[in-house]
Structure 1
Amino acid sequence: MKNITYLFLLLNCMACNNSHKEVRQPNILWISHEDLGPIYGAYGDDYANTPILDQLAEKSIRFTQVFSNAPICAPARSTLITGIYASSLGTQHLRSDIPVPEQMKILPEVMREAGYYTSNNVKTDYNFSYEGRWDESSKEAHWRNRPDGKPFFSVFNFMITHEGPTNALRPSDTSGLKNFHDPKKANLPPHLPDSPKMREIWAHMYDLLSVFDQQVGELLGQLEEDGLLEETIVFVFSDHGHGLPGHKRWLDNAGLQVPFLLHVPEKYKNLVGNIAAPESDRLVSFVDFAPTTLALAGVSVPEIMEGVNFLAEEERKYVFGYRDRADDVYEVSRSVFDGRHLYIRHFMPHLPYYQNALIFNKGGSYAEINRLREVGDLPEATRKMFTPKPVEILYDLKTDPLEQHNLANDPKFKNKIAELADKLDGWMIENRDTGLLSEGLMIQQASVNNASVYEVSRAYPEADFKVILNVAKMVGKIKDVSQVMPYLESEIDAVRFWGLVGIDAYEGEIDAIFSQLYGMLSDEAPAVAIKAAEILIKREENKLAYKVLGEMLLLADEVQVLQAAISVRQLGAKANPLIPLIKEEVFPKYSGDIWGRYRSWSYPMFIGMALDQAQINCGLDIPVKK
């Protein structure tokens, strides 16, 4: 790589070199990395050592209000590459294989039709097939492989900052650094315990950011070598918050806010004429990246895209977020942010964020939290991760940037909560949020109708979707089980499902609806029957419910099996009657070489993880990866 100081001198004087040149379509380069919030030095973090990024920021637009729409990689990346909310496509779960509309063209396909060479190096993780959608997607993919004279859209995804390296503490990952961050100077957030181990992990996370900083310099150096610096618009961003508890997987600002630098060469400054300052506080989210990239290239935005050009004159007033299944941990949470106040609604508030699941029993920061929990030495903010969640949360990020004070019950914020709750409801209905259908139901209906999940959700009349949403909003607020009884007889599968979720969250007596629950064990929708069986086993260890849950574990549809496996895990020691079936018939179908245990990285892994934890809950010694 050529001297990086020279590189930025070149960036600084580009204006004097291009006035006589013909302005052509810009090349566009996305440089993304994993699992870090906005902690570059350019964002005011004195602990960070990011000289390349900081110099780039001086010649770029530094956006301060940019958000992933999901706090975990697959739904975040699905949203990025499609310009469509993952919750609209059904791609909001981690990890899955979702039927998408045949007519849908993702960003590289539209760019390719406009004459661009498109390359991706190398991560996809879209929750649908990427085959045929790029000119090249591989470890060797590079703009240098394009035909002469073609403009390019290239993506480079750097994984060094992923939660894996962050928590593994491997010296080999940072062997190229000369200076390391001092753990004693680490400034931990309140929700992480202040222990020597956690400080070491936090410092290592910043070391990995320094490695990424070097990688950015190498890539920019390649642009310089090719004479393309003044021909290329560069995006630099992370895919969501830090790869640590309370960040990744958590639907809050710590999980959603990301850094974003937009470098626009002088000859293309007219394309960002609405942003005069080197810093912008415009609200931007990942759903907007594809439409904005197309606008920069002078390409029309497909109607199916739900994002907007964030460089246009009209600015967003709200950004939305979603968190659904991650690995074998179910969740349905949604958020809306207005630039100051973050409103979060939990549709499964009875399930803590930090569940009894293998993903939370691995090494690094999770092992340290589990160790401190066993000895009773966790701070209150960490202990909250293990408890049921509030149904509603409101944070004022101006006065409470670390999100420690929930204002949802403060009468002074009644109007703000009503405003944001209404915006969230409207967004979910308008975009037919597939999280309301549940993963099992949406896949079943897509299969029966030979359609995409997107098309299935849009086939619901608005009135029906409003009913589903209203029943889902009852979860955690039910005062008497009689409130739910009418919904258990609904003709709409999703209404029956959410009625059952409400019962699962209800801590009072449910004797009055046992007969309805027995009838629902034979429901035509497996997702409904599975949930009814889970509730009956939790409440009375019902023999017929065990039989039904066992039958569901043997289905051919892996999505339904996954829900059944998660329900079995949720039973704790009460899952014991199912252990022989799991060991002899179910688990062998999903075993393989991934992590030395599972058949693939998708549904079979998560089914296997849920069944492994279920066996551990029943006292078995299972050789799982830590």
Structure 2
Amino acid sequence: MDRRNVLKAIAGAAAMSAAPLRATIAAPPRRNVLLLISDDQGLDAGCFGVDIKTPRIDRLAREGTRFSQGYATVSSCSPSRASIYTGLYTHQNGMYGLEHDVHHQSLLPGIETLPAMLRRAGYATALVGKKHVGPDVAFPYEAELVPERGGIRDVHELSVAAASFIRSNDDRPFFVTIGYSDPHRAAVDYGNDRVWPDVKPVRYDPGRVPIPSHLPDLPAVRQDLAAYYESVSRLDSGIGMLLDDLAAMGRADDTLVIFLSDNGRPFPGAKTNLYDPGLHLPLIVRAPGMGASVNDAMVSWVDIAPTILAWAGAEGPDYELSGQSLLPLLGKSGDAARDAVFASHDFHEINQYYPMRAIRTRDHSYILNLAHPLDYPIAGDVAGSPSWRAIVADPSIRLGRRTQASYLKRPAEELYDLRRDPNELTNVANDPGYASVRAQLAERLRARRAATRDPWLAGQTDPYSHVGKSE
């Protein structure tokens, strides 16, 4: 069945199921949830000021609240997804690194997740596409559709599977998560080596692609970015299909739609880093009855679970979550009280131990590198990328304006004045003029780590416990 007939069938089924209700009494409003997670997408979409083609994401932004200051808690896939699902930082929930293969990280016993809590509240729950978190018992989705371990790039199949699940569970509210594989790197060219069903490829001229500030202008980097942007545009097509399906089923007006990415783009200087390109990511929330807006409150991925629980009226866990609901911010332009976000990284791959903690405010970024004598590790997919291979071929080539030497060997503390240095290039941690700022941020970070029971804060596991304190 082609897509046009699929949509007709969906619309017909929705009309048939709604007819008896119209004849008697209006049904109470539904509180459905659609969570859309892109994979390794930086702040790359037209609505975020990047000159690429993402008309469906842009449309969603015009219909909902686009958060201009949305931040992941960590720039690594499994840990970030775990924070989204649990409302806890990675050092709290135990998902210290990647879940798959030999890395084998997983949630600690007793940590509750959105699919478990919403299923307990009577929701029909499904995961469509990429999972990449564990253990399986902690994520009791009723259905895992298109469940290839690493997800797939057939956005049409993902959309049809999600619509079929929603249609077949019309008697209950739904919580459906779509785990896209785009724009994560693929074995061949971001999956751009074939034509996908119902997707018109968007090709990018390497000579004209926008180059992020953390990357050098090299031919290999331009080619790499062109392929990455094509994958972002395919993701955009899939989101459009899904939102069209939702409208055809009559569910657009009772569904909370959240779109975000798990971590920064898969390039050096972004993915696995706690610098802005690794953490500062797209977040759009569309809620029925809420006006459109651009909101500049500093919000975090630990806020996603509290938002969904509040929307659903579902009971949370018997412990305190680290985030807070975004619902009061929808349709508004900001919240001065939300003036900082925190980040926590432990591993990416199992052999890439490099614990970091960070606090970002509107004016400053402060990063603690807890194992700073180690070289900074490079994620496997980034290390094998055309961009990284071209960069390391000549040690004099910079990552944007950052030297390779400073990227690979980092100090115990990093402090950046974002007003003067938005690209985080000049470390002022030891500048006497910033001593009070450093002390204030170090204390805020220490207090947050203590409140969230960071295991790396204990003296016996933190050989650099003097860092951040006055000598």
- TM-score greater than 0.5 by the shorter chain: yes
Shift of 1:168: 5.1
Shift of 1:289: 0.6
Q: Distance in 2 between matches of 1:431 and 1:326?
A: 21
The answer (yes or no) to whether the contact 1:79–1:86 under 8 Å persists in 2 is: yes
| 3-state SS, counterpart of residue 163 of structure 1 | coil
1:473 aligned to 2:460? no
The answer (yes or no) to whether the contact 2:40–2:264 under 8 Å persists in 1 is: yes
Q: Distance in 2 between matches of 1:301 and 1:197?
A: 48
1:207 aligned to 2:212? no
Partner of 1:292: 307
Shift of 1:191: 3.5
Q: Distance in 2 between matches of 1:132 and 1:324?
A: 22
Shift of 1:404: 2.1
Out of 410, 414, 425, which is 1:389 matched to? 410
Out of 196, 216, 220, which is 2:239 matched to? 216
Partner of 1:144: 164
Out of 239, 244, 261, which is 2:262 matched to? 239
State the AA in 2 paired with 1:104.
Answer: I
1:325 aligned to 2:317? no
Q: Distance in 2 between matches of 1:168 and 1:368?
A: 18
Out of 256, 270, 287, which is 2:279 matched to? 256
Q: How does 1:26-41 map to 2 (within 5 A)?
A: 26-41=31-46
1:154 aligned to 2:154? no
* Structure number with higher helix proportion: 1
| 3-state SS, counterpart of residue 400 of structure 1 | coil
Q: Distance in 2 between matches of 1:383 and 1:354?
A: 12
Q: How does 1:166-565 map to 2 (within 5 A)?
A: 170-172=192-194, 176-177=199-200, 179-266=202-289, 269=290, 278-304=293-319, 305-312=321-328, 315-327=337-349, 328-354=351-377, 361-373=383-395, 376-378=396-398, 381-384=402-405, 387-436=408-457, 465=458, 467-468=459-460, 471-474=463-466
Shift of 1:221: 1.5
Shift of 1:113: 1.3
The answer (yes or no) to whether the contact 1:82–1:106 under 8 Å persists in 2 is: yes
Shift of 1:363: 3.5
Q: 1:167 to 1:200 in 2, by over 3 A?
A: same
State the AA in 1 paired with 2:348.
Answer: A
Q: Distance in 2 between matches of 1:160 and 1:119?
A: 19
1:86 aligned to 2:90? yes
Shift of 1:283: 1.7
1:74 aligned to 2:96? no
Q: 1:372 to 1:169 in 2, by over 3 A?
A: farther
1:561-582 Cα offsets, whole Å, 9 max, x none, are xxxxxxxxxxxxxxxxxxxxxx
Out of 130, 133, 136, which is 2:140 matched to? 133
Q: Distance in 1 between matches of 2:193 and 2:141?
A: 35
Partner of 2:129: 122
Q: 1:127 to 1:389 in 2, by over 3 A?
A: farther
The answer (yes or no) to whether the contact 1:335–1:344 under 8 Å persists in 2 is: yes
What RMSD, in angstroms, separates the aligned Cα atoms of the two structures?
3.0
Shift of 1:286: 1.2
State the AA in 1 paired with 2:118.
Answer: M
Q: Distance in 1 between matches of 2:137 and 2:188?
A: 28
Q: Distance in 2 between matches of 1:469 and 1:417?
A: 23
Q: Distance in 2 between matches of 1:59 and 1:116?
A: 25
Shift of 1:152: 0.2
The answer (yes or no) to whether the contact 1:40–1:49 under 8 Å persists in 2 is: yes
Partner of 1:442: none
Partner of 2:119: 112
With structure 1 as the length reference, what TM-score do the two structures score?
0.62
Which structure has the greater CA radius of gyration? Answer: 1
The answer (yes or no) to whether the contact 2:310–2:325 under 8 Å persists in 1 is: yes
Count residues in correspondence: 422
Greater RCO (Cα-Cα under 8 Å, separation 6 or more): 2
The answer (yes or no) to whether the contact 2:54–2:236 under 8 Å persists in 1 is: yes
The answer (yes or no) to whether the contact 1:119–1:143 under 8 Å persists in 2 is: no
The answer (yes or no) to whether the contact 1:72–1:248 under 8 Å persists in 2 is: yes
The answer (yes or no) to whether the contact 2:456–2:462 under 8 Å persists in 1 is: no
Q: 1:214 to 1:383 in 2, by over 3 A?
A: same
State the AA in 2 paired with 1:50.
Answer: T
| 3-state SS, counterpart of residue 198 of structure 1 | helix
1:29-77 Cα offsets, whole Å, 9 max, x none, are 01111111222111122x2111111122111100011111110101001
1:339-375 Cα offsets, whole Å, 9 max, x none, are 33211111111223246x86664242222223334xx
Structure 2 residue runs without a partner (length 5+): 6-21, 148-160, 330-334
| 3-state SS, counterpart of residue 343 of structure 1 | strand
Structure 1's consecutive aligned runs of 4 or more residues displaced over 6 angstroms after TM superposition are: none
Q: Distance in 1 between matches of 2:294 and 2:175?
A: 25
1:322-348 Cα offsets, whole Å, 9 max, x none, are 121221211011101123321111111
Structure 1 residue runs without a partner (length 5+): 4-17, 270-275, 437-464, 480-626
Shift of 1:378: 4.5
State the AA in 2 paired with 1:294.
Answer: L
The answer (yes or no) to whether the contact 1:108–1:153 under 8 Å persists in 2 is: yes
Q: 1:165 to 1:283 in 2, by over 3 A?
A: farther
1:389-424 Cα offsets, whole Å, 9 max, x none, are 021112233443322222223333222211111011
With structure 2 as the length reference, what TM-score do the two structures score?
0.81
The answer (yes or no) to whether the contact 2:40–2:184 under 8 Å persists in 1 is: yes
